[in-house]
Amino acid sequence: MNKIILYLASYVPLYLILIIKNVILKLENRGWKFNNIKFFNSVDDLVIVILAILTIASIGYITIQINGIKKYHKNTYKILKVNNFSSDSILNYISIYILTFIEFDLNSVSNIVTLIFIVALLGIISIRYDDLYINPTLLLWNYKVYNLTIEKNGKPLERIVLVKGNIYDNTEIQIYDTTRQYEFGSITNI
């Protein structure tokens, strides 16, 4: 799975919150009458469309990737160590949510530019350091992201694997042999 798509997909709940928040603001400003709302007359309408496209594209991409993994061969590896993610992952992830709830208006170009800059900066950091472990969107399919040290040909090898369920040290995992940056696996027992 592509790291950029994985990062963008992790914020699908945020996109949905921003879309709902802005539709409610429009309704409030128009006296809760839906027929009084005029769409595509302000900047926030364009942002809502972009966020909706990101949501649909992210969920669609993940669905296609999950449905396509069964065509690949899988090999079994011993898990030597499950490497824990850092608390910085949680802080980076939640910081974007906090920003959007502090008088954040999508009708302000400066707020939109600020949000894009912060999301891009955190994205670059998260992608470069393979720090993409928190992804509520993948939880819709019961997948979690793990950084594993596995044994391959008698040597330790670090892999980032998307797995349904919890995994532990000294168990086995089957990893689908794909050419993706993040691979899918399934749990087995020794």
Q: How do residues 20-62 score in pLDDT, each as one tens digit?
A: 888 887 778 777 776 766 667 777 788 888 999 999 999 998 8
3-state secondary structure at position 174: strand
Percent of the chain with pLDDT over 90: 6
* Span of 68-77, 149-158, 171-180 with lowest mean pLDDT: 171-180
The mean per-residue pLDDT over the stretch 157-181 comes to 80
pLDDT at 179: 62
Residue 180: per-residue pLDDT: 64
- Strands (DSSP E) contained in the chain are 74-83, 143-152, 155-164, 172-176, 183-188
Residue 86 pLDDT exceeds 60: no
pLDDT tops 80 at residue 4: yes
pLDDT at 190: 45
* CA-to-CA dists, residue 125 to 69, 98, 122, angstroms: 28, 19, 5
Model confidence at 137: pLDDT above 50: yes
Report the C-alpha gap between 123 and 129 in whole angstroms.
10
In the chain, the percentage of residues whose pLDDT exceeds 70 is 83
User: CB under 8 Å, gap of 24 or more: what pairs does 57-63 form?
Assistant: 58/5, 58/8, 58/9, 58/12, 58/137, 59/9, 59/12, 59/137, 59/140, 61/2, 61/5, 61/9, 62/1, 62/5, 62/9, 62/137, 62/138, 62/141
- Residue 153 to residue 164: CA distance in whole angstroms: 25
Number of domains in the chain: 1
**What is the predicted pLDDT for the residue at 141?**
85
| Domain span holding position 172 | 3-188
Which helix H or strand E contains 122, and what residues bound it?
helix 109-128
